[in-house]
A = this chain, B = another copy of it.
């Protein structure tokens, strides 16, 4: 009897950057793809059991995923990140067959996509009008649906969305920043933490103690004192009152690293809320700088030394 394929919820439909990220994890056909309409729904699908995993953007300039992802993971039933993937950000200006570049007056685009291609548009189509879209593929779907006038002549879409929707690219690689990329993660249920590879990342959500001057400084020192670098730190209003913030952090290292463990325990002791959102291999495989005295062996040796000192040995 065959094993059931894993089910992945992702920001669909076909052609999104998120789907491209999903394809880095599982080849087409080796999983059940569950396209949903927004990041929060993808994550919720894992919580309800409708999906085994969700693929969502976590650090993005185009997909609009960051804050929704961070907020969805920060609260609710606990989920963890088990993997990350990087997807290059590029756009094609695409239209229905037969449309010519010189005919384009109105372009549909997600606001983030519009911003990404602003300089290209100013140079090549200076008088074009922006018709906001709710996603990167929505205008492709409208064109594909044909029939009624969609209210625009062309759309900025991910390269992977051109062909599935039967569009034609009027121009390719129109994003202004050729090196832009978006970071996606696979979110699943807590369980075995992915094994330490030596080039890992640990994601946390931390609430600062209320009304405590210097609380952010104190939080950062918990990491600095143990030699743990942060590769990402973002604040989000907690939402129950103005002026209360939640911090979403990526620390360099794995939760089983001694220095990471001690720093996280320090946060756990001092902060009202610390949620572990997973340790997983870095997509770029870059190993962290380990400062003097903060390798695992240093911690182990220091523990032996302390035990000897406490036992009355000479030092």
Residues of A bordering B, CB below 8 Å: 37-38, 40, 59, 61, 66-68, 71, 77-78, 86, 111, 115, 132, 134, 177, 179-181, 183, 190-193, 209, 213-214, 216-218, 220-222, 224-226, 229-237, 239-243, 245, 255-256, 261-262, 264-266, 268-270, 274-276, 289, 292-294, 298-299, 301-303, 305-306, 309-315
Contact = CB atoms under 8 A, between A and B. Distances in A.
A241 B182 CA distance: 9
Contact of A193 (B66, B77, B242, B310): B310
Given A237-B66, A241-B179, A294 B306 contact: no
Contacts of A213: 229, 289
B314 A268 contact: no
A10 to B, nearest CB: 17
Tell me if A's interface is mostly helix, strand, loop or mixed.
mixed
Nearest to A235: B234
Contact of A221 (B132, B225, B265): B225
A68 B61 CA distance: 12
B270 A190 contact: no
Contacts of A224: 214, 217, 221
